[in-house]
């Protein structure tokens, strides 16, 4: 059994160049703010991600992959280093080798193109990358995915003469708010009808009954819910906008004859609230649609904020496999290094998910996620405990809660 309380010292094979076949290329896509359940292979009724669905059908999809935080900086710090940080550290610390550094040390040419200015060189995200481009703060969340993929593909073309394998990290921010797809709404068919509205109503009523709430449930009228649905439609359209760039990348790799020699990994730093449940009573964000419902991320650790897509495709990855076992994102970096046969000797909290062409998900008795207010501990993939961070103890607005994910997969009702 593996626990996040401890760590494991992992030794990955010989150096990537030690076997007869050339080392694989690696494309690592960490799309910002993408909920698993708003994508095609995870069951969304809209076909928002046909390219991701193709990668999943040709590779391995993890059905229950969890981000380590619901906010970009701590989540990405843990994702990029494979190390769990119980205090939700926001930087890649000098003592923590990032995945870019690992591939650089293995002889790869390396690059990163990032549309979220939080992931800057000031907090270490440039380390190990020959080429690093990050959106300036004044353009925060306004670089469309096309611009990110343009820059990545341009670097790939210009650096090709080196003859070295490549590691390319792309971090687009579609569908981070504000939801503003270039071509506007891509979907006209209505979704999220009365059932979704009823779930939101139920969450509001539960908080209202507790005596502290931001909005009266009676105010969630049909007119208000139509505004919520419009924002969700825009979110889905942003997801499709991102996915089209994934397809473009796949097409380019096919044209170059490199698709079958490239490991492609797609995941997200966290999900999004999308007005699914009641907002925290003391939440500072005053969203313009309906302040009683939580629209964002970073202050809650429910399913919609931490369950994210995770898809691998390429050499060493089984084809057409869906893995039901829960995993978390500290496993991603050691998995990429193991698949590329990169020689690494160091302490990781994550464990490779593949070995010799097989999925090797270890038993995980504990999964942990953290944010500024609270942490969650999930036991045996079923029981999820929400508890306040130490400095929040004694504050009435952060409650200890226990959920039964087996019988309540959306964690809507506190277990009693």
Pairwise CA distance, residues 293 & 304, whole Å: 13
User: 98-138, pLDDT tens digit by residue?
Assistant: 999 999 999 999 999 999 999 999 999 999 999 999 999 98
Handedness of CA 254, 256, 262, 267 (dihedral sign): negative
Query: What's the pLDDT score for residue 1?
Result: 36
Q: Taking 80 as the threshold, does the pLDDT of residue 337 lie above it?
A: yes
* Alpha helix positions (H), 59-193: 72-81, 99-105, 145-158
Q: Taking 90 as the threshold, does the pLDDT of residue 88 lie above it?
A: no
Helix and strand numbers (H, E) in the chain are 8, 17
Q: Taking 50 as the threshold, does the pLDDT of residue 299 lie above it?
A: yes
Return the DSSP state at 143. S
pTM of the model: 0.93
Query: Where does the pLDDT of residue 415 fall: very low under 50, low under 70, confident under 90, or very high at 90 and above?
Result: low
| Section 367-396 average pLDDT | 80
Over pLDDT 90: what percentage of the chain? 64
Enter the tokens of residue 152. 């990545």
């Amino acid at each position: 059994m593996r626990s996040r309380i401890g760590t494991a010292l992992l030794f990955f094979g010989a150096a990537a160049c030690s076997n007869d076949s050339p080392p694989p290329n690696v494309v690592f896509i960490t799309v910002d703010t993408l909920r698993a359940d708003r994508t095609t292979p995870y069951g969304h009724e809209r076909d928002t991600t046909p390219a991701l669905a193709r990668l999943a059908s040709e590779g391995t999809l993890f059905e229950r992959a969890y981000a380590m935080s619901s906010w970009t900086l701590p989540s990405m710090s843990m994702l990029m280093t494979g190390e769990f940080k119980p205090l939700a550290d926001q930087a890649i610390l000098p003592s923590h080798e990032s995945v870019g550094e690992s591939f650089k040390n293995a002889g790869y040419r390396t690059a990163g193109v990032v549309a979220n200015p939080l992931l800057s060189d000031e907090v270490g995200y440039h380390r190990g990358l020959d080429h690093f481009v990050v959106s300036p703060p004044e353009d925060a969340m306004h670089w469309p995915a096309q611009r990110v993929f343009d820059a990545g593909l341009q670097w790939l073309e210009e650096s090709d003469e080196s003859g070295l394998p490549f590691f390319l990290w792309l971090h687009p921010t579609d569908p981070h708010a504000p939801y503003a797809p270039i071509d506007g709404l891509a979907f006209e068919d209505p979704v999220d009808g009365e059932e979704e509205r009823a779930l939101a109503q139920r969450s509001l009523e539960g908080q209202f009954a507790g005596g502290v709430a931001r909005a009266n449930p009676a105010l969630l009228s049909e007119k208000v819910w139509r505004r919520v649905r419009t924002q969700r439609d825009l979110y889905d359209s942003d997801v499709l906008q991102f996915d089209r760039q994934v397809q473009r990348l796949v097409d380019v790799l096919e044209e170059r004859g490199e698709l079958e020699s490239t490991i492609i990994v797609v995941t997200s730093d966290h999900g999004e609230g999308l007005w699914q449940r009641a907002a925290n009573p003391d939440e500072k964000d005053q969203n313009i649609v309906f302040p009683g419902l939580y629209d964002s991320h970073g202050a809650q650790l429910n399913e919609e904020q931490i369950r994210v897509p995770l898809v691998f495709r390429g050499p060493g990855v089984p084809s057409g496999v869906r893995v039901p076992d829960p995993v978390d994102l500290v496993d991603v970096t050691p998995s990429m290094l193991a698949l590329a046969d990169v020689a690494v000797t160091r302490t990781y909290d994550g464990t490779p998910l593949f070995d010799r062409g097989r999925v090797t998900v270890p038993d995980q008795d504990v999964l942990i996620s953290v944010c500024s207010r609270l942490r969650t501990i999930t036991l045996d993939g079923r029981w999820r405990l929400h508890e306040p961070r130490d400095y929040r103890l004694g504050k009435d607005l952060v409650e200890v809660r226990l959920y039964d994910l087996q019988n309540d997969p959306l964690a809507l009702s506190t277990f009693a």
